[in-house]
Chain A
Amino acid sequence: MPGMNSGVTDNDPTVVAAFRAALAHQGIIALLIVGILAVVWVAIRERRQASGDGAAGLGAVGPVPAEAAGRQVLRIGFGLLWLLDGLLQAQPDMAVGLPSGVIQPTAETSPVWVQHLVNWAGTSWSYHPIQAAAATVWIQVGIGLWLLAARRGMLSRLAGVASLGWGLIVWVFGESFGGIFAPSLSWLTGAPGAALIYCAAGALLVLPERYWRTPRLGRAILAGLGAFMIGMAVLQAWPGRGFWQGSVNGGPGALVSSVQSMVTTPQPGFLSGLVSSFGSFARQDGFGVNLFAVIVMAALGAAFLTGRRRVIVPATWAFVVFCLADWILIEDLGFFGGLGTDPNNMIPVALVGVAGFFACTRVPEATPDAATAAAATPDGSGRGWVPRLAALQASLTRATFGTMASFSAIGVIVLGAAPLAAAQANPAASTVLAQSVDGPASTVVYPAPSFTLTDQRGQRVSLPSLRGKTILLTFLDPVCVSDCPLIAQEFRQAGQLLGASNKQVELVAVNLNPLYHQLSYIQTFDKQEGLASVPNWLYLTGSPATLTKLYAKYGVSSQTLPAGAMLGHSDIAFAIDKSGTIRQELDFNPGPGSTATQSSFASELASAATQTLRAS
């Protein structure tokens, strides 16, 4: 999948440090948001109380009915899950590793159109890994806190909307639709994707509270779950999918293969031992294991479909036990290995089952709705800003801790999303990738060694003739098979990124291969790289002796390697100001040469040109 992988290692120290710094900075801002909101809230409450308005405001909304038990299970359960997911997203390897280590493997067995869709998202992530990873952390932490804090009313339902929306994004782009289009789809190993269950839970939380005050919703939840389980049982039993065999042609069967892949992730020894033992057992008796799973899934599904209390009570308990067993023995808890992003599907689906069960069996008594009580209070709809401000103050005074915490959580979500949105508006990749490959640019001040060479059009060009323009200079071998074409593309992209400033910049390369010094080689190289029509591109050459002397002046190494190897040379770029002074030196080895790193180097080069323009 082109573009998915930035080519930088998952634990690259530069990226990891930048990710940690971003989290720390945004964390401080998050604390400030919470602190400011808390101070404002307390101050207004104190003031209203002191002025005598508080007595009515603080307790006059009347009796508030208890939250339905089923809804509470969903809200708190998924709040904690989102919180856990957010914290897992903060693992150091996540910024670089998520596209190549999580998204790409998940999409590999899916149809091509899914891979294209997911590749687009992975590429976008790879261009701005720090902003994307940090945003994911804060959005998921924010949704978790919001669900935990907002127990009632519109804010709570909006938290459900947030869970539904973000869950959908994660399910499509992060989980490749939960693998439902992949041939090895199985509920036992993660189908239909944990995030889809987060979406379902979010949708249930969006429902008006009156739906939770009758057992019909609970029965509908369990019936849906029952139909889903029967469907998954049929799929699990479907012949030819490899689940009935513990081993196939000497290799592991479908289920055993999944278990074995999980065991390879770093984890506590006792857990890997337990899972490995189950894998061995399943390999020996694959038929028996699958038969047991199919029967249990079908039986639980049928039990949920009955809707009878005496059946669903034991079925719910059995369902939870089965989910926990699968979570441990097959899914291996799901979040170990440095790139685990959630505990997989079993805990969420068990939560949905329990919520459905409580929604059936523990229906709250009908009481006056809090919203009805709230409707009796002043809403500030009068004309003029004075009554509106008073109404706002009254609202803040009445606001509970949960309400203020909810607003804080929303602030955390915005805090994460805003930098990512700003980064996505920039078509060029973050410079952190280039810096992770070669380190930051060096700021220097010394006169650029002079030269007089011939450009690709046969015109003489000297350094003094370029005075008045900022120069981005590099050295390129026209018959190079790897680095030089990449660097040339990075220069071309840098020119595009400079926009209007590009007119004040010359993109200059000097031929680095004295054997291939003829004009025809640099012209052919330009044609190969699409540079022939770039107006401020100069590719200069000269006699072998002239070129060799110039390499020495600029400290560029050029070494003939034996036996069919291309010329060994250093990759370097210089930013030269209008007066001919070198302002920046950039180690310019293009590294893995992915689209993300290319774009990142182009950004770094454009940034160097911009800084040099400003300095001169």
Chain B
Amino acid sequence: MRRIRGAAAAIGTVLLACGCGSTVASQGAAPTTPGAAAAPAAPVLSAANSVSEAGGTWASVPMGTVGPNLFWQLVRLPASGGHWTLETPPNVATSGAVILAGQQGQGAAGETLDVGIRPSLDLTFSPIVTTSNAGDAWSALAPEPGLANVPDALAAAPGGEMVALDKDQEVSELTSPGAANWSSLSSQHAVGATAAGRECGLTALTATAYTAGNMPLLGAACAKAGVAGIFAYSAGTWHLAGPALTGPLAGQRIQVLRLTRIGGTDAALLEAGSGPSAVLAAAWTSDSGSHWTVSSVLKLDSAQPTSASFGANGATGVTLSNGRGALIDGPHGSWQPLPALPPGKSVTLALPAGQAPEALAADGSVLTISRLAPGAARWTTAQVLKVPIEYGSSA
């Protein structure tokens, strides 16, 4: 009998250890994201943005809901004014994002827009399409290996050459519009290994563009304080081509949020520092980076920039996570706070040439366009665009 009781006690002990052990293990299992702390600083800016060309203003906005029911839309406002129209390229799901690349050259009168579709669901590469008639007809260019999720992942030169930043930090180029395939140009690793890359302490590539001389440009996040990570490609290697920073920007880590060409000017949006002390500054160059004009700083007051758009003459507008926004007219302007932005799940600014700024607020399948008249204290609804989204079509 003693043996039986001993065995029973042992069984009980094992059961207890089993049960209690599992309980303690469960309670002690704190949620962790391995590797999160070591991840390089990555831009948080949405791919939503607008770009003004000679023929009109194009904007890319996320609509619908989430996942396969998120549908990015491309809308256009003619230069002559009027109404925004839906010009989303057909026959491809845009759940990943629509990346804009205007083929602007100095004094370009045409209106060729190249568009990259980010990968989504089971599609791992990026279809590229182009239109030269305001979206009436589209034709496909060679597919890109897979665009990064940044607004300047794709850039086009007036001749139709393109440079792209991939989701895996590779840089590809399309040497002519008719080329059958993209070729590898560089990568984060390769740029980081150059003298310029080491000077920057490159942690991530964030943008692509072309100089006025049609040489590829790359934007980046730098670990070294006071270095603006803008790299120009010439003579077979990458050189630092960003502005020399002074004042409050000099002692901060700089991240290039946007880098694009507007007419004959390259414009950049820089974020300096992080947290409550983070600031934004815009910078412009018309000579491929030899000389830059850097704006005053815009204090973010703990807000995050959510989208940034460029208009004619280098005008730059940003929206912030606190529902506010700010605008700078160009190299000779200063940051002006905007009234509280219209409500919407995603709000993007558009800066059409010669017209008042507009805010595109997307919510589900409704895009509300509001206009800020000169001197006005609030936005006025100018147009409501109901987008016929085909929910479930990608599932």
Chain A residues within CB distance 8 Å of chain B: 111, 180-183, 185, 191-192, 216, 219-220, 223-224, 226-228, 230-232, 234-235, 238, 240-241, 305, 307, 477, 479-482, 485-486, 513-521, 524, 528, 560-568
Contact between A564 and B16 (Cβ–Cβ < 8 Å)? no
Contact between B12 and A479 (Cβ–Cβ < 8 Å)? no
| Residue of chain A at shortest CB distance from B9 | A227
Sample of 15 further A-B pairs with CB below 8 A, known A230-B12, A234-B16, A515-B138: A183-B22, A185-B23, A227-B12, A235-B23, A240-B23, A241-B23, A305-B8, A479-B91, A480-B122, A517-B140, A519-B180, A521-B140, A563-B88, A563-B387, A564-B389
User: Which one of B19, B90, B91 lies within 8 Å of A231 (CB-CB)?
Assistant: B19
Is B158's beta carbon under 8 Å from chain A?
no
Within 8 A of A (CB), among B372-395: 387-390, 393-395
Is B38's beta carbon under 8 Å from chain A?
no
Contact between A566 and B1 (Cβ–Cβ < 8 Å)? no
| Residue of chain A at shortest CB distance from B129 | A515
Chain B residues within CB distance 8 Å of chain A: 1, 4-5, 7-9, 11-13, 15-16, 18-20, 22-23, 25-27, 63-64, 68, 71-73, 86, 88, 90-95, 98, 117, 120-125, 127, 129, 138-140, 142-143, 180-181, 387-390, 393-395
| Min distance, Cβ A349 to any Cβ of chain B, angstroms | 13
CA distance A562 to B94 in the complex (A): 11
Contact between B143 and A564 (Cβ–Cβ < 8 Å)? no
Please, which residues of chain B bring their CB within 8 A of the CB of A486?
Answer: 122
CA distance A561 to B93 in the complex (A): 10
CA distance A568 to B121 in the complex (A): 16
CA distance A514 to B140 in the complex (A): 10
Please, which residues of chain B bring their CB within 8 A of the CB of A216?
Answer: 4
Contact between B16 and A565 (Cβ–Cβ < 8 Å)? no
A479-B127, A480-B123, A515-B90 are contacts. A566–B20 as well, Cβ < 8 Å? no
Contact between A240 and B12 (Cβ–Cβ < 8 Å)? no
CA distance A482 to B72 in the complex (A): 17
User: Which one of B9, B73, B92, B388 lies within 8 Å of A479 (CB-CB)?
Assistant: B92
The total of Cβ contacts below 8 Å across the A-B interface reads 172
| Residue of chain A at shortest CB distance from B3 | A220
Contact between B22 and A185 (Cβ–Cβ < 8 Å)? yes
Contact between B11 and A228 (Cβ–Cβ < 8 Å)? yes
CA distance A519 to B142 in the complex (A): 9
User: Which one of B64, B92, B124, B181 lies within 8 Å of A528 (CB-CB)?
Assistant: B124
CA distance A545 to B94 in the complex (A): 25
Name 11 A/B residue pairs within 8 A (Cβ), A-sorted. A182-B26, A223-B8, A224-B7, A479-B127, A482-B394, A515-B92, A520-B142, A560-B91, A564-B389, A565-B393, A567-B90
Contact between B124 and A235 (Cβ–Cβ < 8 Å)? no
By DSSP majority rule, is chain B's interface helix, strand, loop, or mixed? mixed
User: Which one of A182, A224, A562, A565 lies within 8 Å of B93 (CB-CB)?
Assistant: A565
User: Which one of A182, A223, A240, A481 lies within 8 Å of B394 (CB-CB)?
Assistant: A481
CA distance A521 to B120 in the complex (A): 16
| Min distance, Cβ B119 to any Cβ of chain A, angstroms | 9
CA distance A528 to B144 in the complex (A): 12
Contact between B91 and A515 (Cβ–Cβ < 8 Å)? yes
Please, which residues of chain A bring their CB within 8 A of the CB of B142?
Answer: 518, 520
Contact between A238 and B20 (Cβ–Cβ < 8 Å)? yes
Contact between A521 and B389 (Cβ–Cβ < 8 Å)? no
A183-B26, A528-B124 are contacts. A563–B91 as well, Cβ < 8 Å? no
Please, which residues of chain B bring their CB within 8 A of the CB of A183?
Answer: 22-23, 25-27
A482-B122, A515-B140, A563-B388 are contacts. A185–B88 as well, Cβ < 8 Å? no
Please, which residues of chain A bring their CB within 8 A of the CB of B16?
Answer: 231, 234-235
User: Which one of B11, B64, B395 lies within 8 Å of A482 (CB-CB)?
Assistant: B395
A183-B22, A482-B68, A519-B180 are contacts. A528–B125 as well, Cβ < 8 Å? yes
User: Which one of B4, B23, B27 lies within 8 Å of A220 (CB-CB)?
Assistant: B4
| Min distance, Cβ A226 to any Cβ of chain B, angstroms | 6
Please, which residues of chain A bring their CB within 8 A of the CB of B12?
Answer: 227-228, 230-231
Contact between A521 and B127 (Cβ–Cβ < 8 Å)? yes
CA distance A480 to B64 in the complex (A): 19
User: Which one of A220, A485, A561 lies within 8 Å of B390 (CB-CB)?
Assistant: A561
Contact between A226 and B8 (Cβ–Cβ < 8 Å)? yes
What 9 A-B pairs are tightest by C-beta distance, nearest first?
A227-B12, A183-B26, A564-B94, A564-B71, A227-B8, A231-B15, A481-B121, A566-B93, A565-B390
Please, which residues of chain A bring their CB within 8 A of the CB of B95?
Answer: 481, 564
User: Which one of A111, A180, A240, A305 lies within 8 Å of B19 (CB-CB)?
Assistant: A180
| Residue of chain A at shortest CB distance from B388 | A562
Please, which residues of chain B bring their CB within 8 A of the CB of A477?
Answer: 91
CA distance A209 to B139 in the complex (A): 84
Contact between B22 and A182 (Cβ–Cβ < 8 Å)? yes
Please, which residues of chain B bring their CB within 8 A of the CB of A228?
Answer: 11-12, 15
User: Which one of B26, B122, B389 lies within 8 Å of A481 (CB-CB)?
Assistant: B122
| Residue of chain B at shortest CB distance from A481 | B121
Please, which residues of chain B bring their CB within 8 A of the CB of A185?
Answer: 19, 22-23
CA distance A122 to B116 in the complex (A): 41
| Residue of chain B at shortest CB distance from A567 | B91
| Residue of chain B at shortest CB distance from A489 | B122
Please, which residues of chain B bring their CB within 8 A of the CB of A568?
Answer: 390, 393
User: Which one of B7, B9, B22, B139 lies within 8 Å of A181 (CB-CB)?
Assistant: B22
CA distance A561 to B393 in the complex (A): 9
Please, which residues of chain A bring their CB within 8 A of the CB of B63?
Answer: 563-564
CA distance A516 to B140 in the complex (A): 6
CA distance A519 to B181 in the complex (A): 10
| Residue of chain B at shortest CB distance from A566 | B93
